[in-house]
Copies of this chain bind each other. A is one copy, B any other.
Amino acid sequence: MELTLRDVAEGVGAEIVGDGDERVRRMARIDHAEPGDLTFLYHRDYKKYFPDTRASAIIVGEDFERTREDIVYLVAKDPKEAFYRTLIGFFTPPVVLEGIHERATVDPTATLGADVALGANAYVGARTRVGDGAKIFHNATVLEDVEIGAGSVLYPGVVVREGCKIGKNVIVHAGAVIGADGFGYLPPSKETGEAHVKIPQIGDVVVEDGVEIGANSTIDRAAMGSTVVERDVKIDNLVLLGHNVSVGAHTAISGQSGVSGSTKIGARCVFGGQVGLAGHIEIGDDVSIGAKTGVSRSLLKPGAYFGIPAKELRTTLKLEAHFRKLPEYERRIKELEAIVESLAGKRDS
């Protein structure tokens, strides 16, 4: 990469102190950096590494004491933001997959856009359409009648079941499963012959543009209609979205959270890890839910919630503080009982 420090500085609005023509190869942590690397210093814990870092250049704040002369400084108002902007703007790694592998299998009725890449043993089913520049990695499976939008990436082992629609620039991480049957049965009864009867899951999954889905997560197809993940939703690993769930735009769901069937989640929500939502409820826009929370009722008001069952965050924190005082309360009740008994005794005497 013929990238100079001047390019970076101009790109992120930093000022150069030193040789702007110097080339930079990659970003690295200050304690790991080697010559040719650009490093950064926004956390004081790492200041101790500055005298010895082998980096060629460093992003620092304006008040940083630039005691070394053998390193180029990129001086930024907000060095943390400059670091992220450098990383995003100049060091986003390419997704390495090109061409159609000879061991990929493409149904003759499928259509592939320009510059589609298919890995070894990738499978693309009948009538499926893959948009321009999309990449489907090794051992991934896309069944029939699927749409994969332009620029989307399906990592190894991903499975997309029949009829699902994946938008543009979607990233699906390894092992995620989109469109498995929802969990729906008529329960065992005399009418069913005392066994479950599977309710056909004839809907699909619609994943809109810019969504990212974590490794080994599962998003079930709707019983009828669509399970919907709106644009720019970010889903971490091992998350479960049940059938007919909908997730509003820009919502972020952390790892191992699960959403039961038909629940509707608003826009711009943020969920911690291992959150669980009951089915058939509604979460409003701009709701934040703390890790491990269990939600059994709708939460329509914007704000922060936490606990099992979910309450407003400050309520749960207050109750938790009281909870820790239970031994004290018992002691105080005991003391009261002793005094009252004594008072009553005296009274009666």
Residues of A that sit less than 8 Å from B by CB = 26-29, 32, 84, 87-88, 91-93, 96, 101, 103, 105, 119-121, 123, 137-141, 143-144, 155-157, 159, 161-162, 171, 173-175, 177, 180-181, 183, 185-188, 194-200, 202, 210, 212, 214-218, 220, 224-225, 231-232, 234, 236-238, 240, 242, 250, 252, 254-256, 258, 260, 268, 273-274, 276, 278, 291-292, 294, 296, 308-309, 311, 318-320, 322-327, 329-330, 332-333, 336-337, 339-340, 343-344, 346-347
Contacts and interface: CB of A to CB of B under 8 A. Distances in A.
A120 B325 CA distance: 61
Contact of A196 (B138, B234, B309, B311): B234
10 contacts: A27-B202, A32-B225, A92-B198, A96-B144, A103-B105, A137-B141, A155-B161, A183-B236, A188-B250, A240-B273
A127 to B, nearest CB: 11
B186 A174 contact: no
A145 to B, nearest CB: 9
Given A88-B199, A240-B255, A340-B336, A180 B173 contact: yes
A326 B328 CA distance: 12
Contacts of A332: 333, 337
Given A195-B231, A274-B274, 15 more contacts: A87-B200, A88-B199, A105-B138, A123-B139, A141-B157, A161-B174, A185-B252, A195-B210, A216-B218, A220-B237, A256-B258, A278-B291, A322-B327, A336-B340, A340-B343
Which of A194, A200, A250 has most B Cβ within 10 Å? A200
A264 to B, nearest CB: 13
Contact of A242 (B162, B171, B255, B318): B255
Given A123-B119, A292-B276, A329-B330, A177 B175 contact: yes
Contact of A255 (B119, B139, B258, B273): B258
Say what secondary structure dominates the interface of chain A: loop
A214 B336 CA distance: 55
Contacts of A254: 183, 260
A262 to B, nearest CB: 12
Given A105-B103, A137-B141, A322-B327, A237 B255 contact: no
Contact of A200 (B91, B101, B196): B91
A346 to B, nearest CB: 7
Task: Return the 9 tightest CB-CB contacts between A and B, nearest first.
Answer: A322-B326, A141-B156, A180-B215, A159-B174, A177-B215, A215-B218, A105-B120, A218-B237, A123-B138
A329 B329 contact: yes
Nearest to A341: B339
B138 A138 contact: no
A93 B202 contact: yes
Contacts of A139: 121, 123, 139-141, 157, 159
A260 B273 contact: yes
Contacts of A224: 27-29, 87
Nearest to A231: B195
